[in-house]
Amino acid sequence: MAQHSSKGARFQAVTANRLSDGEVVYLTPDNQWAETFAAADITDGPEAGDALLARALPADFELHVLEPYLFEVLQDASHFKPASVREIIRAAGPTVRLDLGKQADAKRES
């Protein structure tokens, strides 16, 4: 499994790709997979992170998602955002096609 978090990471969330269409999804507090980062369960502290990842691994998710992993999240002012460029792009869509991906869905909905 890829490493997308660091040892010193404080806040973390779990992401994966949905089996049916590869859509980026996030594990929510009630163990669902949501399409938006805003719905992700975000944990504080390394042990809580491990526990979060453990919730993503049960075999029943094999039918829904691929390759779940932990990634680092930063808190700025009052809201959270992914720490790496990679996860920012996964949460939004290609930066060269703003008409595609989650960023476009968000625009359509608003």
Partner 1 sequence: MYRYDEFDHQLVGERVKQFRGQVERRVSGELSEDAFKPLRLMNGVYLQLHAYMLRVAIPYGTLSSKQLRMQAHIARKYDRGYGHFTTRQNIQFNWPALNKIPDLLEELATVEMHAIQTSGNCIRNVTSDQYAAAIDGEVEDPRIISEIIRQWSTFHPEFTYLPRKFKIAVTGHDNDRAAIKLHDIGIVIKQNELGDVGYEIHVGGGQGRTPLIAKKMADFVPKAQLLAYLEAVMRVYNMLGRRDNSYKARIKIMVHETGEVEMRRLIEAEFAKIDASQMLAVPPAEIDRISAYFASPEFETLPASSDVLEAAKTRDADFARWVRANVVAHKQDGYAIVNISLKPIGGVPGDASDVQMEAVADLAERYSFDEIRVTHEQNLVLPHIRLHDLKTVYDALHAHDLATANLGLISDTIACPGLDYCNLANARSIPLAQEISERFADLDRQYDIGELKIKISGCINACGHHHVGHIGILGVDKKGTEFYQISLGGSADENASIGKITGRAFTEETIVDAIETVVTTYTDVREGGERFIDTYRRVGLDPFKERLYAE
Binding site for partner 1 (CB under 8 A): 6, 17, 19-24, 62-63, 66-67, 72, 83-87, 89-90, 93-97, 100-101
Question: How far apart are alpha carbons 13 and 91 in whole angstroms?
Answer: 12
Q: Residue 101: which region, alpha, beta or left (left: phi > 0; alpha: psi -120 to 50)?
A: left
Closer residue to partner 1, CB minimum distance, 29 or 107: 107
Q: How far is the CB of 45 from partner 1 (least distance, A)?
A: 20
Q: How far apart are CA 42 and CA 74, in angstroms?
A: 10
Question: How far, in Å, CA of 74 to CA of 100, rounded?
Answer: 25
Closest CB to partner 1 among residues 41, 72 = 72
Closest CB 51 distance from partner 1, rounded Å: 23
Task: Report in angstroms how near the CB of residue 101 gets to partner 1 at its nearest.
Answer: 5
